[in-house]
Structures are given as C-alpha cells and as structure tokens.
C-alpha cells in the first residue's frame, strides 16, 4: 500500500502548485474587480457630465418646441388618413 502513494516530495510539490495557482487566481480576481470598479466609477462621472451638459443645452422651451412639431406632424398624418378613409369609403 505504501508503494502506491507517491513520495512526500511529490505531494508537497503538488500542494505548493495548487496553492500558487489559487494565489495567482485570487490576485488576478482582485485586480480584475479593482479595474472594473475604477472603470464603472469613470463611466458614472462621464455620464454625470453628459447629463449636466444636456440639461444645460436642451431647455424646457426647446422640448416644448420639438413636441409641438411632432404633434403637428401627427395631426397632419391623421388628417391624411381620414381623407383616405373617406375616399375608400365611397
């Protein structure tokens, strides 16, 4: 039975290799998480700047003007559809 087991040195080397592998994976995971966290922080800051600039550049008056144009286009479309329905309904 003792002949079936590898020498102690081989077992120690195997456990050292497992330990090193786990340590490298842990360090890599921590580095990845830190990098991802920093990227997310930078993205949040950039998004806040964009939101601020859009808020300053696009006022309530601008949005009301744009909505009025869209409503007029919808009203024109509806009137054309009604005219077509009248023609086809004859």
Q: How far apart are CA 57 and CA 51, in angstroms?
A: 10
**pLDDT tens-place string over residues 61-81:** 999 999 999 999 999 999 999
pLDDT reading at 89 higher than 90: no
User: What mean pLDDT do residues 34-55 have?
Assistant: 93
Same domain, 2 and 44: yes
Q: How far apart are CA 58 and CA 61, in angstroms?
A: 8
Q: Which H/E stretch holds residue 35?
A: helix 8-57
Structural domain of 67? 59-90
Same domain, 73 and 46: no
- Identify the residue whose tokens are 């601008």: 62
Same domain, 11 and 27: yes
Same domain, 42 and 84: no
Same domain, 66 and 89: yes
Query: What's the pLDDT at 56?
Result: 83
Give how many domains the chain has, as a whole number. Answer: 2
Same domain, 17 and 27: yes
Same domain, 51 and 8: yes
Neighbouring CB atoms inside 10 A of 5's CB total: 9
More confident call, 89 vs 43 = 43
Among 2-6, 31-35, 49-53, where is mean pLDDT lowest? 2-6
């Amino acid at each position: 039975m003792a002949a079936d087991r590898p020498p102690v040195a081989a077992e120690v080397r195997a456990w050292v290799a497992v330990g090193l592998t786990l340590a490298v994976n842990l360090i890599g995971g921590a580095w990845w998480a830190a990098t991802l966290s920093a990227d997310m922080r930078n993205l949040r800051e950039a998004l806040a700047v964009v939101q601020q600039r859009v808020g300053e550049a696009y006022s309530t008056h601008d949005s009301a003007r744009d909505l009025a144009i869209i409503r007029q286009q919808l009203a024109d479309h509806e009137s054309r559809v009604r005219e077509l329905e009248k023609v086809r309904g004859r």
